Every structure is written in structure tokens, then in C-alpha cells.
Structure 1
Amino acid sequence: MNVLFQTRKDYLSNVAGDSVIIQNLRKNLINLGVKVDIYHDNRINLSKYDIVHIFNTIRVHESYQFMKHVKKHNKRIVLTPIYWDLRKYFKGTLQLEKIASWNRNEKKRKFLFDHCDIYLPHCMGEAKLIMKNYNTPSKYTIIPYGVDESFLMGKKYYLKKKYGIDDYILCVGRINHQKNQFNLIKALLKEKIPLVLVGTVNDKNYLKECLKMRKEKLFLLDHVKISELNSIYKGAKVHVLPSWIEYPGLANLEAGMAGCNVVTTKIGSTKEVFGEYIRYCNPYDFESIYKETMEAFETDKNNLFKDFIMENYIWMKIAKKVKEVYFSIIE
């Protein structure tokens, strides 16, 4: 079977959740005997492909161009939406100009959902939002996102040996408004526990605002390798992702796999995906962020969340489900 993945052209240079999903899914599908190419050209010759798998309906323009091209050539189409309705987030964080842009692109999103053979929401909450907002006749199968087993393999004292940082709180995610590092720093401003931020700086002005607070023992690590990240997770007592919205936050899975206590936002699909294995905070409320983070910090680690992830969210298990979907729409 030959499959073509189509996604935004900067998925490697501007790494985000879709980048991680695409690379891990491709690797594991190849291990299952599926031939998978990745291209961002919307005019590519499709003759050798049995299926075209399109990713991302948030950044919709490129996906829309892919879909139009594929429909002309009558190929089977799988869509991984990586979707959530972000308008409440934009309104709540006063990014009002983005609401207008979102609304302008709604017809393109509906075109994607209406013209795929099947779409793959990561949970029922995402599926219900898509059905509510687009009333699409296309069928769907819930396929969750996964995590690589390599996150089991970190070395606990990596940051202690390299920088002298020990017993720290960790936040992994792009440095930008959505991830809400500003409120996390502010909530922990008076604590002397080291706070380690790991992630690419997407918004330099936002970073400047974060650094203006001059929190004691605040560390920013940029361009971290996966092999290093495994160990950074392993050494953290708690991982906090207090984003304005997550669906559901791949860093939460990585941290849980490494054995961290985990705190994340209550907004988005987090509670459906992670259940009672982690703590949830209100990203608007400094007291909520502080309370949940400190309670997690003071709680002994256990393997309950890790075992739950191993049972449900390993990439090889996810890839097997996707392969089954591929065969179902070809047959």
C-alpha cells in the first residue's frame, strides 16, 4: 500500500503538535509495511498512491489546496483534523482579529470534512464539535494521538549534572501566548523551586513579557533534542501545561510516560483523554495554577498514569488502527 501524507510546508522548521503526530505515525506505519511519503506540493502526481492522508484543519489554506487537487484525481482521502473551535480561546484572550480570520475560513474547513472519505478525530469531544459546526455527512473513526516509548528511557539527573538544576517544575511547549507560560511564571513568582521552560520561541515579544517578571530560578532551554528531552522529563517532579486550550497536549503524554506528575489546563479535550490520572487547573486563575502545581509537586510519583498511557496511547497501537482504516476505505 502506498500512502501520501500532505501537510504544511514548514512542519519541520516550525515544529508543533502536528509535526510530532506526522513523523511518529509515518515511522510506525512504515514498520507495519505501509509505504508513506510526505509532500507539501499541492500539484504532486498522485498516480502511484492508494490513499492521500491530509493533516490539520486549523491552518486550513494548505489543506484546502491539497483536498481540491486530490478530488480531481479521484483518490481515497483520510483527514486527521487536529481540530478544536478556537473562537472562545481568541475571545477570552482578546485576540479579536483572529476571530474574523477564523470565520473567513469556515467554508474551507467544511469543504475538507465534506469531501474526505473518513476523518479521524482524536476523541469524542472533537468529533462532536466537528458534527455540530459542519454538519458533515462524512464518516469518522476516533483515533487518539500517541507517544513514543523512548520517553521511558531518560536519565533522571541530566539537568543536575549539566546545569545544577534539581527538584524542578517543568513546562514543555512552544513559547507563545496559547501555552500560557506568563501566568505560570506569575503564579510561581514567590516560589524558589526551579521552573524550567523547554520549547521553541514562537513569539519573542511574549518571551520578553515573561522575562520581565524576573522570577528567581527561571530557566529557558531552546532547541532541545529528543534524547535530551527524555531525560529532562525524567528529572522533573511535575510537568505543568496551563495552556488557554489543549487538545489534548502531546507534552502531557510525554511527561506522563516519563513518570512525571502532570498538571494541565481544564479547557479542551484534556479531561476526556487523561481522565483522573492528572490534575487540572484554570488557566485564567493564578491561585488554581499555583494550588494544583504545588500539590502535584508535593505528591509522590507513581506509575498509574504511565501504565494508562502504555495501555492506550503508544504510537504502534495507534498506527495499527490507522492501517485498519486505510484497508477499510480501499475495500
Structure 2
Amino acid sequence: MSDSRVLITTYPAAFLHRGGGELELVDLMVNLRQLGVRADLYGPNAQPLNKYDVVLHYSVIPTGMEFVREVKAAGKKLVLMPSLWWSKEPTQAEKNSAAEFFRLADVVVFKSKTEFDNVNAYVPVEQSKVAFCRWGADSCFEELISGDLFKQTYKLDDYLLSVGIIEERKNQLAAIHALRDSKIPLVFVGDYRDREYYEACVKAAPGHFKFLPYLAPKSEILRSALRGCKAFIEVSLEPAGFSAFEAALARVPMVLTAGPWTQEHFGNELVHLVDPMSTASIQKGVQAALNTPVSPQLQRSIHNQYLMPQCLEPLVRVLRVRS
């Protein structure tokens, strides 16, 4: 095996609105570098394509197809990380596009078995191309930072917290409807892509709920927000984002959507599982989170399995090029 230089790419419009996936790319580059990989993120500071041995392309958004074809035409090893989850059956066009990405890729990396099962049920992936690599969170979220900074900055006492881009598939509107009568405010931290959905959330929320702008990843204010909340809530229609790993490391009660992804990563007993389409289920899950001490086993489990950069070691092996 020889060392390889890696270029990380994604679809062109990705960074117009920063959500979890976009933050993952920046974090991925930093953590791969910590593991000794010479990795760059595509942009004006990257080298020309001919200087790289491997291209790691993130997502199967169709607008990235032209770029991927250029990579293959240049003879580079293409590692594809689909970061894909279909909550309902995709259209034939979506299936055809994903299948073409999979055909072009030398390796297709899935972050979990449940992600693979979800995708493979609609578009079979050639087994010889499949690799698995866990994702994770930074150890800085384990630091016992005070929640007072966030509370004082935004004039809060007790609060529930939801972190992530506000969009329909993240299902924030359902959480608002379920918790609108709660005396404890629900605080949303995140940007939005769909202004109409964002405005619907703001309109439906009672006056004591808060919508805060994007907070820098790993920042002291974000870590303080997690440490100070009474419960972390993510009742999305797709797998939770990596902020759920961060909340687990911060030792806060968690309310997550029930399903195979949550079971694979958090188990059935360490977090409070809810039906994201049921107001009663969300209410019951939040109430249980407020009344149940956090199991120390949750933090230990995430630390042992999903801590950056160690959890990326399988990906490092995938990115190597044979000499």
C-alpha cells in the first residue's frame, strides 16, 4: 500500500445553506488529516485534479454527476459516500441517478448497516464495492462545560433543544405542534433552505419558543447549549444528524425517532424513542426524558464506537491506493 492524496468533493450548491452534511465534509477533512491522510476540500485552495490519487465524493445529488464523470475520465479512484436515506420510494429518475453514481464508483461507503439496507432496497449496490465506516463526534463535547453561557446569552432558564437545519424531512413542525403547550420552551438552532417551511414553523410556534441562527460547530456556545438543555429532541423522518452523537457525549436526555437507525446506534433503552408522526408519542417521550436520569452507558457507548477521529480508521484504509 502507498499513501494517497485525497480530494473531497460534493455537489455544487451544497454550501449555499450549511446543514449537517456540509459540516460533516469540513469535519471529515480535519479528522482525516489527524489520521495522517493528505486530504483537501474542493475549492479555490485545492490543487489541480491531477495532483490527487483519490476523490471522495459526498452525496448522490444529480448536479454532482458531471464532476464525478470528470474524475473517472481522469482515471482517479472514486470513493462515493452517498449519505442517502429514502423515507419513501424514490422516483425512477432518482433511482437511475443513484444507480449511475454507484456504477461509476470504485467503492461505495455507507455510514451504517441501516443506511445500506435503506438504499439497497431500492437500488441494489454491487456487494464487492460496499464498505462501511462509522461516523462520529468530537471529544470536545465530552468536556463538562457550563450551560450558563448559552442561558445568559439568550435569556433562558430551562429549555428543550433541537439542533439542525430546519426543513420538512427534519419534521420540526411536528415537534412544535406536539410541544406548543409545554411551559419549557423549545429552542431551535439552525439555518433553513425552504423559507416557506421555516415560516410555517415560526408561525405555529408559541411566543416562548426560540429560533436561533447557525452556531459554529464545536464552539463554546454550541457546547454550552447542549450541556444546559433539559432534553435534546430530534424527531426527523430520516436518521438523526451527528448532533445526536454530540448530545450523547454531552450526557443529556435524548428524544429520537424510533427505527432501525436509532436502534443500531443508540439501542432501545438508552434514549427515548418516539413515533415522529404522533403528537401523543412525542409528548410522552419528552415527558419521560424530563423525568428519567441519563444512563452513563449512553456516553460510554458513543465514546467507544463513534468518537472522531478514531472511528474513521476504516475509511482511511479504503482511501489507500495500491502501488
Q: Distance in 2 between matches of 1:312 and 1:140?
A: 20
Which of residues 76, 96, 115 is equivalent to 2:104?
115
Match of 2:110, SS? coil
Which of residues 209, 230, 235 is equivalent to 1:237?
230
Partner of 1:127: 116
Partner of 1:209: 200
Partner of 1:144: 134
TM-score by length of 1: 0.87
Partner of 1:271: 263
Matches within 5 A, 1:246-257: 246=239, 248-257=240-249
AA in 2 matched with 1:147: A
Partner of 2:73: 72
> Could you report, residue by residue, the CA deviation over 1:52-108 in whole angstroms, capped at 9, with x for unpaired residues?
111112x2321x2222111112211111110112435xxxxxxxxxx5xx4323222
Q: Distance in 2 between matches of 1:144 and 1:119?
A: 13
Q: Distance in 2 between matches of 1:9 and 1:46?
A: 16
Indicate how the Cα distance of structure 1 residues 207 and 111 shifts in structure 2: closer, same or farther if over 3 A, else same: closer
Q: Mark the runs of 5 or more structure 1 residues left unpaired by the alignment.
A: 89-98
Q: Distance in 1 between matches of 2:275 and 2:172?
A: 13
How far residue 129 of structure 1 moved from its aligned partner, in angstroms, is 3.2
> Could you report, residue by residue, the CA deviation over 1:7-26 in whole angstroms, capped at 9, with x for unpaired residues?
12343341122212211111
Q: Distance in 2 between matches of 1:25 and 1:56?
A: 14
1:166 and 1:194 in contact (8 A); partners too: no
Q: Distance in 2 between matches of 1:167 and 1:23?
A: 32
2:180 and 2:206 in contact (8 A); partners too: yes
Q: Distance in 1 between matches of 2:201 and 2:311?
A: 37
Q: Distance in 1 between matches of 2:139 and 2:216?
A: 16
AA in 2 matched with 1:196: V
Indicate how the Cα distance of structure 1 residues 190 and 103 shifts in structure 2: closer, same or farther if over 3 A, else same: same
Shift >6 Å, 4+ stretches: none
Q: Distance in 2 between matches of 1:217 and 1:191?
A: 10
Indicate how the Cα distance of structure 1 residues 29 and 213 shifts in structure 2: closer, same or farther if over 3 A, else same: closer
Q: Distance in 1 between matches of 2:92 and 2:195?
A: 27
Q: Distance in 2 between matches of 1:208 and 1:135?
A: 38
TM-score by length of 2: 0.90
How far residue 291 of structure 1 moved from its aligned partner, in angstroms, is 0.2
2:20 and 2:164 in contact (8 A); partners too: no
How far residue 113 of structure 1 moved from its aligned partner, in angstroms, is 1.0
Q: Distance in 2 between matches of 1:187 and 1:250?
A: 24
AA in 2 matched with 1:8: Y
Q: Mark the runs of 5 or more structure 2 residues left unpaired by the alignment.
A: none
Indicate how the Cα distance of structure 1 residues 130 and 180 shifts in structure 2: closer, same or farther if over 3 A, else same: closer
Partner of 1:330: 322
1:7 and 1:40 in contact (8 A); partners too: no
> Could you report, residue by residue, the CA deviation over 1:214-260 in whole angstroms, capped at 9, with x for unpaired residues?
525211111223311111001011101011222x4212111111111
Which of residues 35, 60, 63 is equivalent to 1:61?
63
How far residue 164 of structure 1 moved from its aligned partner, in angstroms, is 2.9
Indicate how the Cα distance of structure 1 residues 110 and 230 shifts in structure 2: closer, same or farther if over 3 A, else same: same
How far residue 40 of structure 1 moved from its aligned partner, in angstroms, is 6.0
Indicate how the Cα distance of structure 1 residues 50 and 70 shifts in structure 2: closer, same or farther if over 3 A, else same: same
Partner of 1:84: 85
Indicate how the Cα distance of structure 1 residues 72 and 126 shifts in structure 2: closer, same or farther if over 3 A, else same: same
Q: Which has the higher contact order (CA 8 A, sep 6+)?
A: 2
Q: Distance in 2 between matches of 1:287 and 1:195?
A: 17
Report the aligned-residue RMSD. Answer: 2.1
Partner of 2:164: 173
Q: Distance in 1 between matches of 2:11 and 2:56?
A: 13
Q: Distance in 2 between matches of 1:129 and 1:183?
A: 23
More divergent stretch after superposition (156-165 vs 166-175):
156-165
How far residue 110 of structure 1 moved from its aligned partner, in angstroms, is 0.7
Partner of 2:309: 316
Match of 1:53, SS? strand
Q: Distance in 1 between matches of 2:154 and 2:104?
A: 52
Q: Distance in 2 between matches of 1:83 and 1:213?
A: 29
Match of 2:50, SS? coil
Aligned residue pairs total 313
How far residue 268 of structure 1 moved from its aligned partner, in angstroms, is 6.3
Match of 1:15, SS? coil
How far residue 49 of structure 1 moved from its aligned partner, in angstroms, is 1.1
Q: Distance in 1 between matches of 2:118 and 2:174?
A: 28
AA in 1 matched with 2:132: I
AA in 2 matched with 1:314: L
Q: Distance in 2 between matches of 1:305 and 1:156?
A: 20
> Could you report, residue by residue, the CA deviation over 1:11-45 in whole angstroms, capped at 9, with x for unpaired residues?
3341122212211111011122221122269xx94
